[in-house]
Amino acid sequence: YGTYRGHEIYSMSPPSSGGVHIVQILNILENYEFTGHNTANTIHLMAEAMKFAYADRAEYLGDTDFVTVPLQGLTSKKYATSLSQKINKLKANNDINFGQPSHYESEETTHYSVADKAGNAVSNTYSLNFSYGAGIVIEGTGMLINNTMDDFSSKPGKPNAYGLIGGTANAIEPQKRMLSSMSPTIVLKNGKPFIITGSPGGSKIITTTLQVILNVIDHKMNIQEAVNAIRIHHQWQPNEIRIEKGLNLDTIKLLTNMGHKVVLKHTMGVASSILLDNGLYYGASDPRRSGLALGY
């Protein structure tokens, strides 16, 4: 749980890292005013904030039944402000490491968002990890077994199939739940559901969900524009900004001049979203994958 520019953010708790780091990144970015959607300065700030979050993810996040995760510290405004002060607005920081949050306390993914006329809302993400999971069907059920064991850190400091670096907090242990990036999220405005969103996409789930929220709240987009907009992604390691193809070449050049390594990608994430405003419901299906928004 967190807040962002007067909005309440509800998302998933560990063993997913999604909710923690969406709130953390939003907290960092709350210290800035954006210069427009997908300008070089805006992308730079977002990428730098993402680096800090993914560095912390590698160090601290794991199954809270097995490790102590500093959830309050990671999602605190004070900690986010301290990280934001390390961001150079004109140059990429290529020497980012995990921070010191305080207050310790005891490929195939699908997402759907639902809201009813009574104001109830559901944001749901579930996953087999890779396409068809482990490729094994439980006899007599038709249900596939997932292969999310890959989400554990098989060796601290080494990347998994999504390139994510993991630490000892997410090491394999008996009866332990593996870390994930699933981020089903509900944003409240004046105490009522405002945005219901989430996405598949492995490590890119966090940043996809984040950008839908930013696009609506900061860039004043309608929900379909927010879902359709070009996305960026930075996960600390590898040290590169991944950007969907179609971004202005001058913007890419400015980012390169700031010290960022830019890698162009076809698509990232598939956000299924609903926006509730003034009694009206607006559904948005992501054009990056077959799907649709329905009302009845």
Range list of H helices, the chain:
18-29, 40-60, 71-74, 77-84, 204-217, 223-228, 249-257
The reply to whether 125 belongs to the active site is: no
Residue 260 DSSP code: P
Residue 7: exposure state from Cβ atoms within 10 A (0-12, 13-18, ≥19) = middle
Residue 16 DSSP code: B
Q: Annotated catalytic residue: which of 39, 64, 68, 109?
A: 109
Q: Could you tell me if residue 142 is left (phi over 0), alpha (psi between -120 and 50 degrees) or otherwise beta? A: left
The Cα–Cα gap between 2 and 154 comes to 31
Question: Does residue 197 contact residue 213 with C-beta atoms inside 8 Å?
Answer: yes
The Cα–Cα gap between 263 and 174 comes to 38
Q: Which residues are part of the catalytic machinery?
A: 109
